[in-house]
Chains A and B, each alone.
Chain A
């Protein structure tokens, strides 16, 4: 660890910057500002720590009782000292507040021309929709954004709370059911960055990860062209991964949070209420739209409802795909 790595503000730049001892890589316009404030507080903290703890250690040694018969000072306080050590920290703290407030306000107000992307959080998958381009993806595909251009995420959850966090961008916001929350950022440089879910959401909270892929604007346009919804047939297999089904249902027979869908079609299913149903198109449709209606024995009702998120064509494609899992 060199001194320069602790003083990142000496090396501000256009491109993404290496991480320092404390902070991860700086890959958005906010990162630099946040780190500046972080290190500003950090050095003042270090100074105060050494003043206070230094004085404590010094007094402990200097005034250590040796004979046990020492006489001690009658000092009971000092108004001027007390005033000083209330007022000086108070003023310093106000400056902390002010810097933090300014950058925070920048984080809250997205520029008008930001690229809009919708984010849906669900147990345990992030999916992304580009309304301008009709692109929808999720699972391992991650979020694709252009560099050097403001991007705004409008986020919502379909089940419990989640939180969308990109450490390299220094942005985070809770993703709440029945409510929209927003984040905006402008990525610097190109490359991949980790996304975490940071609001506890159950069994696979720590697997609710994905990546942001930052591309040159030209490459991003190319990506859009390649992925733009054409009016061709909907692909059940890709929906199965982008809608997060794959996180809870294996296609190889192994048991995850939900039952494996391998070879399921056409068999009978035991439900928690003791009854059995035949797994046919209607049952699968209902399982996807209102999973709580019939719950498979031995499983908790963990599946989020897809009512309103998938249209008929998409549900059909999913059913057709499930039929092929032999």
Chain B
């Protein structure tokens, strides 16, 4: 048995059986590590830090909206606050969230491998991420941007705020995503443990795989678009700005051609996490493995054909609008299949209602609302009324924040023992989950109501008739923040005095649980072989037929 506290005499060759956390020491051993686990942990820390920044910006926005009049900010300051919130949350948090942190950490482990296919590329993608983040931080310090995270032209091509550095940030971050995507695709194709066929791959990997496909195919388009916008601003050559002879609606097409698929970059990995947690903590084989795996890939592809549903009132032709509406329903079906399959998985199980499962149930609850409310927006005539109101804001927070974030938190709780070797306080975790769930729904359900009643988004001031809903939403946002701080608190505490985690505290069957907690530096001693499916639990009673 290898030790988890393998301290070594200085000057020695390091111990290959020591935990990855302690195998080598010093800041440089982290910043320049090629170990996918350390890179995953660094991503996790960075992503959570930006989540804090983006979250504080959201609290600023919500605090301002407590009353209809301007209280804290001028219009132009308010616009900077919501832009920071959106841009940080999308580019620095949601896009990398699960794949870059949990994906990096667990993809090789779940495949029974020692690392990803290209460890150096992996490190490079982290460094590029930090570089991109620095551009965005510079943007903040140099006065901020007020274009919204969507950078719509011609506003973004004419305003005199720090648009260029913000675009550079988003542009750079794109490369980080592309590199991670390529790395994961190659790793999954080429480096599965002996015996691990595609059909024996844990569904988390299917989710990550579909995500990587989108990242590689869609990100170059946004990179080119942002580049064109920088080009236009710098050299005054008309591309999107009508004053220079450009077409502002073209920008929207380009932008959503990337940004719609990217919502699947955010959500597919969360689907992957939920497929793991719902099965493992119900002690039952996942229901409809192939349907879940195939629907991830189907969503990834159909997701490329629906961008125009963000533009039903933009002035695009009626024919395009109609086609985009129709195809959009085509994405709804595979998504529905997943939800049904997860609930089906619980049937006949032995469900442990621990915090991981509670977050999983919270995910299902919230994501179902997010999905069902998306249907209103896919329907042409109803979207005309709802577009650019708080209804849309509420919908995408239910999907992105509720879906991706609940999935992310579920995943962090599920894999925390493996990543850190420590168990957290389960009682506090359940309590935190309850607070997060309540706060979340209070924040965003109220936004459906005011949105349907006509409250436009990105408003610094509003009509008094919406005040009640805005106030409830603000109270919800602070509750949600409290819940997240509780969560952060007990997780950090567990590092200090958490109970030591066993190799496989959940009785899971995928390969990451076959190594130590935390894993040894090179993941496994010798070559692991995969001789069972990831959901063939010991409790399953095959005699029941």
Q: Contact string, B370-385, partner A, CB cutoff 8 A, digits 1/0?
A: 0011011011111111
Between A and B, 23 residue pairs with Cβ closer than 8 Å are: A34-B381, A34-B384, A52-B340, A53-B364, A56-B361, A64-B351, A71-B540, A73-B541, A75-B348, A77-B344, A85-B340, A89-B332, A93-B332, A97-B378, A104-B321, A104-B380, A104-B384, A165-B456, A176-B248, A179-B249, A199-B152, A206-B75, A206-B460
- The answer to whether the Cβ of A99 comes within 8 Å of any Cβ in the partner chain is yes
B313 close to A86 (CB less than 8 A): no
* Contact A176:B249 (CB < 8 A) given known A56-B364, A72-B283: yes
B154 close to A82 (CB less than 8 A): no
Q: Contact string, A195-212, partner B, CB cutoff 8 A, digits 1/0?
A: 011111111111100000
Q: Which residues of A contact B313 (CB under 8 A)?
A: 163, 172-174
B315 close to A174 (CB less than 8 A): yes
A200 close to B458 (CB less than 8 A): yes
Within 8 A of A (CB), among B235-258: 242-243, 248-249
* Contact A170:B372 (CB < 8 A) given known A89-B332, A177-B242, A201-B155: no
- The answer to whether the Cβ of A223 comes within 8 Å of any Cβ in the partner chain is no
A45 close to B372 (CB less than 8 A): yes
Q: Which residues of A contact B452 (CB under 8 A)?
A: 22-23, 38
Query: Which of B346, B537, B545 is close to A63, meaning CB atoms less than 8 Å apart?
Result: B346
- In the complex, what's the smallest C-beta–C-beta distance from A287 to chain B, in angstroms? 18
Task: Give the distance in Å from the alpha carbon of A159 to the alpha carbon of B282 in the complex.
Answer: 57
Q: Which residues of A contact B160 (CB under 8 A)?
A: 300-301
Query: Which of A52, A71, A172 is close to B368, meaning CB atoms less than 8 Å apart?
Result: A52
* Contact A170:B385 (CB < 8 A) given known A75-B285, A206-B459: yes
The chain A residue sitting closest to B539, CB to CB, is A72
- In the complex, what's the smallest C-beta–C-beta distance from A262 to chain B, in angstroms? 22
Q: Which residues of B contact A86 (CB under 8 A)?
A: 333, 336-337
Nearest 5 CB-CB pairings of A with B: A73-B348, A167-B454, A100-B379, A104-B380, A103-B381
Q: Which residues of A contact B369 (CB under 8 A)?
A: 49
Q: Which residues of B contact A172 (CB under 8 A)?
A: 313, 384-385, 387-388
Task: Give the distance in Å from the alpha carbon of A320 to the alpha carbon of B158 in the complex.
Answer: 31
Q: Which residues of A contact B341 (CB under 8 A)?
A: 77, 82
Known: A77-B288, A100-B383. 8 other contacts (CB 8 A): A34-B381, A53-B365, A74-B544, A86-B337, A93-B329, A177-B243, A179-B242, A200-B155
Query: Which of A42, A99, A301 is close to B381, meaning CB atoms less than 8 Å apart?
Result: A99
A206 close to B315 (CB less than 8 A): no
Interface of A toward B, CB cutoff 8 Å: 19, 21-24, 30, 33-34, 37-38, 41-42, 45, 48-49, 52-53, 55-57, 59-60, 63-65, 68, 70-78, 81-82, 85-86, 89-90, 93-94, 96-97, 99-105, 107-108, 159-161, 163, 165, 167-168, 170-174, 176-179, 181, 194, 196-207, 300-301
The chain A residue sitting closest to B82, CB to CB, is A200
Q: Which residues of A contact B249 (CB under 8 A)?
A: 176, 179
Q: Which residues of A contact B463 (CB under 8 A)?
A: 194
Q: Which residues of B contact A173 (CB under 8 A)?
A: 313, 315, 384
User: Which of B159, B348, B463 has the most A CB atoms < 10 Å from its CB?
Assistant: B348
A108 close to B318 (CB less than 8 A): yes
- The answer to whether the Cβ of B275 comes within 8 Å of any Cβ in the partner chain is no
- The answer to whether the Cβ of B339 comes within 8 Å of any Cβ in the partner chain is yes
- The answer to whether the Cβ of B291 comes within 8 Å of any Cβ in the partner chain is yes
The chain A residue sitting closest to B352, CB to CB, is A65
- In the complex, what's the smallest C-beta–C-beta distance from A243 to chain B, in angstroms? 19
- The answer to whether the Cβ of B355 comes within 8 Å of any Cβ in the partner chain is no
B388 close to A198 (CB less than 8 A): yes
B353 close to A60 (CB less than 8 A): yes
Query: Which of A73, A100, A174 is close to B544, meaning CB atoms less than 8 Å apart?
Result: A73
Q: Which residues of A contact B449 (CB under 8 A)?
A: 21-22
Q: Which residues of A contact B361 (CB under 8 A)?
A: 56-57, 60
* Contact A85:B459 (CB < 8 A) given known A200-B148, A204-B75: no
A81 close to B458 (CB less than 8 A): no
* Contact A203:B348 (CB < 8 A) given known A41-B375, A63-B282: no
The chain A residue sitting closest to B322, CB to CB, is A101
Query: Which of A42, A75, A82, A197 is close to B347, meaning CB atoms less than 8 Å apart?
Result: A75
Q: Which residues of B contact A68 (CB under 8 A)?
A: 350, 352
A97 close to B155 (CB less than 8 A): no
Q: Which residues of B contact A167 (CB under 8 A)?
A: 385, 453-454
Within 8 A of A (CB), among B380-417: 380-385, 387-389
